[in-house]
Chain A
Amino acid sequence: MSEVVDRWVERLKGKLPPIGTMTHWERMAAAFDLKPMDMPAVAPELDYWQITYAGYSHQEIYNDADKCTDACIRTWADLRTDAIWMYIDISHQIENFIPAEARPKYFVHRGSKDYLLFKPLAKTLDEAIALYENRTFEKYLGDSRAVTHYHPHMLQLLEFQEKMDRVVPVIVGAASPSNYAETIVEVQQFVRWTITQPRKLKHYLDLALEERLKALDYYADAAYGNGCRFFGLFGGARTWGPRQLREFGYADQKYVEKAAKIFPYLFWHICGHNLPEAMQDLTCWPLKAVQYDMPYYSQKLSYREWFESVARLFAGKRCAMNAPTTQLACHGTPGEVRAMVRDFVDATTPHTTAVVMPGCEIDAFTPVENVKAMIEAARERRL
């Protein structure tokens, strides 16, 4: 039972004007199930942005789950997007690998809108392997922000979802094995080692996979058990080439296979420049939707052509989630944002369902008018 949730439920339940002929939940579910929808769904990943939109600074919510939850719900109540993303930062992911007294050294918080800075946990592959083999992540879990912050915030939002009778889904997010393995040592080292130390790296990745598969038991219990159905997986592997996908892609695939047995609405987040081979792989894993991003450097495609090529690839298989790019959302005009949303919807919906959702989280400096333009542009389209 959470006071902040009850306050919002009392204020909102039964009092919100309908949007379209479906509820937010129904619209997202239809998108994921590739069923007819009244209009494209729109569910930008607002995590840092919604904090400042709601009037808090990033520092202020860092240790205060109530304020964090308040920010998410307040923003949703104003903007009425089709999903509420829980707030996540990298400290939730790796603090449990670090003893409490050493944590301040690893995380740096600066301006009120700045991202959390973090330092890698291991310099060599041997150090990284030892972190897993010594089960460091279990030792320091109890007082880490995964437990003290992420967990209560997730439960609060799910409580809101359930008390609102599932008019709007809450998206719970978790990092994949490749994401963990890369974050701990830094991406640039990880990708080098795919070439220089492939065998040892595989062992390391297997350890990360093992930890992640176990973490899914937690999610089955705490997330699914409390009503979560929409589950987003943050992939690493975003600077990999086809060879790396072939040799090391198995870890994320196994993770997806287990998650799909728990969550009916499972999607993958692949930000950055997306390799066509990676997009191809994602159509073979048991996912319902893919939040994708920009075309790979070597593809000389316009955004419209890129949207269309992905939609064709996903036809009958996956829901496509994109647009506008995070940089256009931040630097562009509302007119440009609208145009890109329209391009995405028009290029996608002849082939598959569309959710308007930039490929990564909205930057904290993104102007409110641009977020509103994105939502309005989606709402204006009728399917």
Chain B
Amino acid sequence: MDKLAELSEALLQLDGEGAARLIGESLEAGIPAARILSEGLSSGMRKVGEQFREGVIYMPEVLVACDIYYSGLEKLRPLIQPGENRQARGRMILGTIHGDIHTVGKDVAVPVFEAAGYDVIDLGVDVADEKIVEAIREHRPDLVGLGTYMTSTFMHTRETVKAIEAAGLRGQVKIICGGPSVDAGAAKRMGADDASDDAWEAVGKLDRLMDELKAQGRTV
């Protein structure tokens, strides 16, 4: 097995030490950091997703895999040369909506989106609408992800969208909700663009939203 395949496998085996060692060895062997990320760590995260959805592994394993992914990412990020940078598919801010402190879903969704090639800025939990508006101004994302894990907090989507509109920023971003109790129709009725209860499935939706943004002439 080549090093990157081994790295991907180490992630799947929840072998943090092994993953750290393989990243070091890959770098020493001259493999570019961007390739280690995409063909090693991110490919491992995709397999984690497949195994979770097939019921081979469960939420605790997914979370530990996410941690290993992150510590690898931390090491690789500063080493990725601007020129060799994987072209990020888009930039996203993601936070759990105000009134909601569920974290697990966000902790899984963020690395899944990262591994799929999005730059994700994690705003944390119980994020006030003003903070989301501020973050849009600061980071100029293409996508705004709202973690809405309960029906009541999912219903806050309307207010959050209004705050983004009031700030004159609605045209610049696509908004997607996530959580176990979301409903795409209801999300659209509240002024968002989509919703998903599955991070891996959501990647397809993010891609579609990016296409729509491009079609609207918004430069990304």
Residues of A at the B interface (CB closer than 8 Å) are: 108, 110-111, 113-115, 117-119, 186-188, 191-192, 194-196, 239-244, 272-273, 275, 294, 296-299, 325-327, 330-331, 363-366
Contact among B98, B104, B126, B151 with A327 in the assembled complex (CB-CB below 8 Å): B151
Contacts A108-B126, A186-B103, A239-B58 known; 18 new A-B pairs at CB < 8 A: A114-B152, A115-B99, A117-B126, A187-B104, A188-B103, A191-B59, A192-B60, A192-B64, A195-B64, A239-B60, A294-B180, A298-B54, A326-B151, A327-B180, A330-B151, A331-B151, A365-B151, A365-B155
Tell me, yes or no, whether B67 is within 8 Å of chain A by CB: yes
Q: How far is the CA of A48 from the CA of B58 in the complex (A)?
A: 31
Please name the residue on chain A nearest to B16 by beta carbon: A196
Please indicate the chain B residues that have their CB under 8 angstroms from the CB of A294 in the complex.
180
Q: How far is the CA of A241 from the CA of B152 in the complex (A)?
A: 27
Which of B58, B155, B186: most chain A Cβ within 10 A? Answer: B58
Q: Is the CB of B59 within 8 A of A241?
A: yes
B157 CB to nearest A CB, Å: 12
Contact among B55, B60, B126, B186 with A298 in the assembled complex (CB-CB below 8 Å): B55
Task: Please list 7 pairs of residues, one from A and one from B, whose beta carbons are closer than 8 Å in the complex, sorted by A's number.
Answer: A110-B98, A114-B152, A117-B126, A187-B103, A243-B58, A298-B53, A363-B150
Which of B14, B63, B198: most chain A Cβ within 10 A? Answer: B63
B100 CB to nearest A CB, Å: 8
Q: How far is the CA of A344 from the CA of B107 in the complex (A)?
A: 33
Please indicate the chain B residues that have their CB under 8 angstroms from the CB of A119 in the complex.
101
Please indicate the chain B residues that have their CB under 8 angstroms from the CB of A299 in the complex.
55
Q: Is the CB of B60 within 8 A of A241?
A: yes
Q: Is the CB of B183 within 8 A of A241?
A: no
B20 CB to nearest A CB, Å: 15
Q: How far is the CA of A242 from the CA of B181 in the complex (A)?
A: 24
Tell me, yes or no, whether B52 is within 8 Å of chain A by CB: yes
Which of B14, B61, B98: most chain A Cβ within 10 A? Answer: B61
Residues of B at the A interface (CB closer than 8 Å) are: 14, 52-55, 57-61, 63-64, 67, 98-99, 101, 103-104, 107, 126, 150-152, 155, 180-181, 183, 186, 198
Q: Is the CB of A195 within 8 A of B14?
A: yes
Q: Is the CB of B152 within 8 A of A365?
A: yes
- State whether A244 and B151 are in contact (beta carbons under 8 Å apart), knowing that A115-B99, A192-B67 are contacts in the complex: no
Please indicate the chain A residues that have their CB under 8 angstroms from the CB of B63 in the complex.
188, 191-192
Q: Is the CB of A239 within 8 A of B151?
A: no
Q: How far is the CA of A3 from the CA of B126 in the complex (A)?
A: 39
Which of B67, B98, B180: most chain A Cβ within 10 A? Answer: B180
Please indicate the chain B residues that have their CB under 8 angstroms from the CB of A196 in the complex.
64
- State whether A113 and B152 are in contact (beta carbons under 8 Å apart), knowing that A186-B103, A239-B104 are contacts in the complex: yes
Please name the residue on chain B nearest to A194 by beta carbon: B60
Q: Is the CB of A240 within 8 A of B186?
A: no
Please name the residue on chain A nearest to B54 by beta carbon: A298
Q: Is the CB of A331 within 8 A of B183?
A: yes
Please indicate the chain B residues that have their CB under 8 angstroms from the CB of A108 in the complex.
126
Q: How far is the CA of A111 from the CA of B52 in the complex (A)?
A: 36
Q: Is the CB of B180 within 8 A of A188?
A: no
Contact among B57, B101, B104, B186 with A331 in the assembled complex (CB-CB below 8 Å): B186
Which of B59, B61, B180: most chain A Cβ within 10 A? Answer: B59
Q: Is the CB of B60 within 8 A of A273?
A: no
Q: How far is the CA of A330 from the CA of B186 in the complex (A)?
A: 11
Q: How far is the CA of A147 from the CA of B70 in the complex (A)?
A: 43
Which 4 residue pairs across A and B have the least CB separation, nearest first?
A241-B58, A298-B55, A327-B181, A191-B60
Q: How far is the CA of A93 from the CA of B127 in the complex (A)?
A: 25
Please indicate the chain A residues that have their CB under 8 angstroms from the CB of B14 in the complex.
195
Q: Is the CB of A363 within 8 A of B152?
A: yes
Q: Is the CB of B60 within 8 A of A115?
A: no
Q: How far is the CA of A195 from the CA of B104 in the complex (A)?
A: 16
Please name the residue on chain B nearest to A332 by beta carbon: B183
Q: Is the CB of B99 within 8 A of A111?
A: yes
Q: Is the CB of B151 within 8 A of A195?
A: no
A80 CB to nearest B CB, Å: 25
Q: How far is the CA of A272 from the CA of B198 in the complex (A)?
A: 14
Q: Is the CB of A117 within 8 A of B101?
A: yes
Please indicate the chain B residues that have their CB under 8 angstroms from the CB of A114 in the complex.
99, 152
Please indicate the chain B residues that have their CB under 8 angstroms from the CB of A118 in the complex.
101
A186 CB to nearest B CB, Å: 7
Q: Is the CB of A115 within 8 A of B152?
A: yes
Q: How far is the CA of A365 from the CA of B63 in the complex (A)?
A: 31
Please indicate the chain B residues that have their CB under 8 angstroms from the CB of A195 in the complex.
14, 60-61, 64
Q: How far is the CA of A243 from the CA of B59 in the complex (A)?
A: 11
